[in-house]
């Protein structure tokens, strides 16, 4: 490894520059920059086909897609969600004037614990918003059973998943809606970007209205929408990225296999294995440190790696429920979510991106083992 060259938790996968300039030329020629232009239409079609979903609506970013998904289903009152995610998951509720009700996670994959959801349902509950954390699918069947029992909607924050399938079925097809992110740090990026996956034409139309001010035609506004559209540069990027995504996921898989091999016998360090029947996208490589057994705290390891210019990230620390906006909520009180409270102190995500080469990976593992 080159001395002092920083190694970040991720680096964006980019298509060849010349291919992108070619796309830009098309945009310059057409002068269509946004508002459902030709790149947008083509990307939407090709993306839906790649992901194996019926309807998809493209967005400027994942956060606006989350906010709009909640609007589209007219979610109000209380929503059951996880504290173990990126803060945007809960902020989307806040922006819709919805009260988040935090429920603990399960200890293995860090997803919302379905066994603890029912106890949090109240007459005000209208939906469940779980996250497929690190791209590992939630227990979608149990969550749907609970939702059916209490007549709740399910909106998945699927911002970490791309092309993930369970027994051959796209995980995006579960729940009422799934929300994706194509941010620079994600497995699939359009610089910034996002999408909502829906399952019927009427809902897609509604979502498409909402992301474009509620316009239907030149002079008709059917509802108070927002401006959350993906632009043509993002869509052109997305189209190119589709060509390389399989190759990039395969590179990620190989890096994860290498990490697992090198770190398999480290006392006090745990990592996640593949789930049976699941095609993964390997969006993150979290490891969990048991301070007593490992002999150093998670923060100790985080700092040690930083000294060598290796920038792992503590996704997700602190918990969302520990931030000032939310920590006053009853469900956020210390001791209420023991699993999440423990795991947030143990986790560190190690660098993982397609171009991560063997040298820095082996240095990282050596530093962890020493
Ligand atoms: N729900 C979930 C579960 C999410 O994880 C996210 C986003 C969302 C919703 C919201 O979706 P978006 O609205 O973002 O589409 C990052 C990302 O900004 C955020 O998108 C992501 N989750 C979150 C988990 O991570 P930071 O503050 O850690 O990013 P930053 O800028 O520190 O980047 C991390 C590293 O990546 C840098 O050290 C270097 C590298 N990097 C980053 C960028 C932005 C690059 O090499 N190039 C870049 O352009 O939040």
Given this model, what pLDDT does residue 121 score? Answer: 98
Residue 166 makes CB contacts below 8 A (sequence gap 6+) with 137, 140, 275, 277, 278
Gap from CA of 220 to ligand 1 centroid (Å): 37
Give per-residue pLDDT as tens, 265-295: 999 999 999 999 999 999 999 999 999 999 9
Is pLDDT above 90 for 148?
yes
Given this model, what pLDDT does residue 3 score? Answer: 55
Give per-residue pLDDT as tens, 50-109: 999 999 999 999 999 999 999 999 999 999 999 999 999 999 999 999 999 999 999 999
Given this model, what pLDDT does residue 122 score? Answer: 98
CA distances to 19, 87, 195, 355 from 24, rounded to whole Å, are 9, 33, 22, 25
Please give the mean pLDDT across all residues of the chain.
97
For ligand 1, mutation pick of 86, 180, 320 (most atoms within 8 Å of CB): 86
Q: Which residue, by CA, sits nearest to atom 25 of ligand 1?
A: 185
Gap from CA of 123 to ligand 1 centroid (Å): 35
DSSP 133: G
Q: Which residue, by CA, sits nearest to atom 44 of ligand 1?
A: 184
CA 255 – CA 247 distance, rounded (Å): 13
Is pLDDT above 70 for 35?
yes
Given this model, what pLDDT does residue 171 score? Answer: 98
> What is the average pLDDT across 334-363?
98
Give per-residue pLDDT as tens, 247-258: 999 999 999 999
> What is the average pLDDT across 222-231?
97
Q: Which residue, by CA, sits nearest to atom 24 of ligand 1?
A: 86
Given this model, what pLDDT does residue 1 score? Answer: 47
349 lines ligand 1 (CB under 6 A): no
For ligand 1, mutation pick of 13, 84, 130, 185 (most atoms within 8 Å of CB): 185
Q: pTM for this structure?
A: 0.98
- Residue ranges of domains in the chain, CATH in brackets: 17-241 (3.40.640.10), 245-369 (3.90.1150.10)
Burial per residue of 305-333, b for 16 or more beta-carbon CB atoms within 10 angstroms, e otherwise: beebbbebbbbbbebbbeeeebeeeebbe
**CA of 194, closest atom in ligand 1:** 15
Given this model, what pLDDT does residue 2 score? Answer: 45
DSSP 115: G
């Amino acid at each position: 490894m080159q001395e002092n060259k920083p190694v970040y938790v991720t680096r964006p996968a980019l298509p060849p520059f010349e291919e992108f300039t070619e796309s830009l030329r098309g945009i310059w020629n057409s002068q269509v920059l946004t508002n459902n232009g030709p790149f947008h239409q083509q990307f939407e079609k090709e993306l839906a086909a790649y992901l194996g979903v019926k309807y998809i609506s493209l967005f400027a970013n994942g956060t606006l897609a989350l906010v709009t998904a909640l609007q589209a289903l007219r979610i109000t009152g209380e929503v059951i969600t996880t504290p173990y995610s990126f803060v945007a998951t809960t902020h989307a509720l806040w922006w819709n004037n919805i009260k988040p009700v935090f429920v603990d996670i399960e200890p293995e994959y860090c997803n919302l614990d379905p066994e603890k959801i029912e106890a949090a349902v109240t007459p005000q509950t209208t939906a469940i918003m779980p996250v497929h954390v690190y791209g590992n699918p939630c227990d979608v069947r149990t969550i749907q059973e609970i939702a059916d029992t209490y007549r709740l909607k399910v909106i998945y924050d699927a911002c970490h998943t791309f092309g993930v399938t369970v027994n051959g079925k796209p995980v995006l097809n579960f729940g009422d809606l799934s929300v994706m992110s194509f941010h620079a740090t994600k497995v699939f990026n359009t610089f910034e970007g996002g999408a909502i996956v829906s399952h019927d034409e009427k809902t897609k139309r509604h979502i498409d209205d909402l992301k474009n001010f509620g316009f239907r035609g030149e002079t008709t506004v059917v509802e108070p929408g927002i401006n959350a559209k993906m632009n043509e540069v993002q869509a052109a990027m997305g189209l190119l990225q589709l060509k390389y995504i399989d190759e990039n996921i395969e590179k990620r898989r190989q890096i994860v296999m290498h990490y697992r091999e090198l770190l398999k016998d480290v006392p006090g360090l745990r990592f996640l294995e593949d789930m049976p029947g699941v095609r993964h996208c390997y969006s993150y490589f979290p490891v969990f440190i048991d301070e007593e057994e490992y002999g150093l705290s998670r923060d100790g390891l985080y700092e040690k790696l930083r000294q060598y210019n290796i920038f792992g990230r503590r996704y997700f620390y602190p918990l969302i429920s520990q931030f000032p906006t939310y920590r006053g909520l009853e469900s956020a009180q210390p001791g209420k979510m023991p699993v999440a409270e423990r795991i947030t102190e143990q986790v560190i995500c190690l660098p993982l991106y397609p171009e991560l080469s063997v040298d820095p990976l082996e240095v990282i593992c050596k530093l962890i083992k020493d």
